[in-house]
Amino acid sequence: MLEAANVWNIVTAACRIGILGVRTNSSVEINALCNS
């Protein structure tokens, strides 16, 4: 649970910064997570 929380925090921070999804194939999935 703690590891999952850490990963989610990183994903959330990346969403805010806008790093993830720029050069990855999962940009659509990441954007969906950010918008959810």
DSSP label of 25: T
Task: Tally Cβ neighbours within 10 Å of residue 10.
Answer: 11
d(CA 31, CA 11): 10
CA end-to-end distance (rounded Å), the chain: 20
Question: Is the model's pLDDT at 24 over the cut of 60?
Answer: no
Question: Is the model's pLDDT at 11 over the cut of 70?
Answer: yes
Q: Return the pLDDT at 6.
A: 86
Question: Is the model's pLDDT at 8 over the cut of 80?
Answer: yes
Q: Return the pLDDT at 10.
A: 81
- Which structural domain range is residue 8 located in? 2-35
d(CA 5, CA 11): 10
Q: 30: pLDDT confidence band, cut at 50, 70 and 90? A: low
Q: Return the pLDDT at 18.
A: 67
Into how many domains does the chain fold? 1
d(CA 14, CA 10): 6
pLDDT mean over 12-17: 75
